[in-house]
Amino acid sequence: MTAEQNTVHNEELSVVDSLITESSTTQDEVARMCAGMILDGQLAVLQRQLHADFLKIPTSFQLPPNYTGLDASKPWLIYWPLHALEILDPDNQTDDILSRIGPSIMACLNELEGAFGGGNGQTAHLAATYASLNALAISRDEQVWSQINREGLYKWLMSVKLPDGGFSMHIGGEEDVRAVYCALASAALLNIITPELTEGTAEWISRCQTYEGGIGGAPGNEAHGGYAFCGLAALCILGNPVEMIPKYLDVDSFVHWLSARQYQPEGGFSGRTNKLVDGCYSWWVGGCWSILEGVLPWITSKDVLWSKADLQKYILYCCQSPRGGLRDKPGKSSDFYHSCYVLSGLSEVQHRYSFRPKLRESKSGEWSFMWTYELESPDIVIIDEQNVVGPLNPVHVLPAGVGERMHDFYAALGTLE
């Protein structure tokens, strides 16, 4: 079935009930607004220069006052825009920008605890640690890499590991599947994955899959796109995804829930049932599709579970802010978080990723670095040359090759004593 037939098909089947609520009204408004912006049979142009200028703000200026709420997210304010800049165009990464990543990130290291906080002197935190290591991967700064105390970081990771197999975000903090993903992705980059670090974790992730088929933040919580990605990507770090995914997830119900995330006529994804489309789910949900397509060949064979063409249209027509940067939906302002994940979603649409276990020796801790990519086929999605963004590692959400290089640096140093 082509994307066009798919649209007609869904409209014929759409059921409108007579109950009007605040949510049904906003849903109708968003659908109408997006439909009005999307031109059929054409593609909007990706405004590269405008987005690059927006994404360079944190590298050259003081952030505007509305960013003060992100004072505990400084590593994210480095990772988000720099990842987005690099997939937009690798030439955006000047030596000057890259050389300033290391010192800025190292200022967030909590030396007493052994991991990174959201800012200078702040508590060590898994989200900040994940964003910090991703930013350091992008820096390619081996001098700074060699300053990281992997033993100390490993001890801290073990201190947030919980007896049920999950992880808490910080010492005494909340336990959720974000924490699992952030811990494992960090450990994979540093080549410090051990059996004791991962014991019981796949089973814990499995308990987060809900009756809807998606993955919730913790066992018993509502399925959500953000957590679905974290759970699926974490399984791809824990072992060979070809075995891990079907072993720990009910794949049919997961795929069923994922396919219900795309809305018509918007073309974008929602994060959960009965909520609105949002550009950032182009990655959180789209990333799940990338991984599944790369691991389970039957998902790759047809374009009937979701429409890449329609997601690309949502991104290009509805998520580009006229002031530069990418956004949740029309009417919202752009920000660095949405720029990172909307552009990653565009990359996912334009590339087909494959998991290739023979690429490397399959030692533990290497599973997430065995991904290859090619441009998606033109009968699945039209890729206009002027809109192409770069490929990713779909597990680490880093420009392709970047996480691999950092992992190899630490692999050459060997494992921990």
Residues designated catalytic = 224, 272, 275, 278, 280-281, 328, 335, 338
Buried b (16+ CB within 10 A) or exposed e, 216-229: bbbbeeebbbbbbb
Three-class SS state of 216: strand
Q: Does 290 bind K ion (CB under 5 A)?
A: yes
The span of 13-21, 65-73, 271-279, 386-394 binding ligand FPP (CB under 6 A) equals 271-279
Report the chain's C-alpha Rg in angstroms: 21
Token code pair at residue 203: 């089973």
One residue of 224, 308, 351, 352 binding ligand FPP per CB under 6 A: 224
Contact map string, positions 315 to 344, toward Zn ion, x by CB under 5 A:
-------------x----------------
Q: Does 127 bind ligand FPP (CB under 6 A)?
A: yes
Q: Does 366 bind K ion (CB under 5 A)?
A: no
Q: Does 218 bind ligand FPP (CB under 6 A)?
A: no
Closest CA to 189 of 133, 240, 236: 133
Q: For residues 33 and 214, what is the distance between their CA atoms, to the nearest angstrom?
A: 28
Q: Does 340 bind ligand FPP (CB under 6 A)?
A: no
Shortest Å distance, C-beta 204 to ligand FPP: 16
Q: 318: which DSSP letter?
A: I
Q: Which does 328 bind (CB under 5 to 8 A by kind): K ion, ligand FPP, Zn ion, none?
A: Zn ion
Q: Which is nearer to ligand FPP, 76 or 383 (CB)?
A: 76
Q: For residues 86 and 400, what is the distance between their CA atoms, to the nearest angstrom?
A: 10
Q: Name the amino acid, one letter, at 216.
A: G
Q: For residues 352 and 300, what is the distance between their CA atoms, to the nearest angstrom?
A: 9
Q: For residues 8 and 116, what is the distance between their CA atoms, to the nearest angstrom?
A: 50
Shortest Å distance, C-beta 226 to ligand FPP: 2
Q: Does 337 bind ligand FPP (CB under 6 A)?
A: no
Q: Name the amino acid, one letter, at 412.
A: A
Q: Does 275 bind ligand FPP (CB under 6 A)?
A: yes
Q: For residues 121 and 118, what is the distance between their CA atoms, to the nearest angstrom?
A: 9
The footprint of ligand FPP on residues 67-106 (CB under 6 A) is none
Q: For residues 285 and 228, what is the distance between their CA atoms, to the nearest angstrom?
A: 7
Residue 169 has φ and ψ, to the nearest 5°, of -60, -35
Q: Which is nearer to ligand FPP, 46 or 180 (CB)?
A: 180
Q: Does 348 bind K ion (CB under 5 A)?
A: yes
The span of 72-80, 86-94, 283-291, 360-368 binding K ion (CB under 5 A) equals 283-291
Q: For residues 183 and 165, what is the distance between their CA atoms, to the nearest angstrom?
A: 12
Q: Does 344 bind K ion (CB under 5 A)?
A: no
Q: Please check whether residue 342 is in contact with residue 282, taking contact to mean a CB–CB distance below 8 angstroms.
A: yes
Binding site for K ion (CB under 5 A): 290, 348
Binding site for ligand FPP (CB under 6 A): 127, 178, 181-182, 224, 226-227, 230, 271-272, 275, 278, 284
Binding site for Zn ion (CB under 5 A): 278, 280, 328
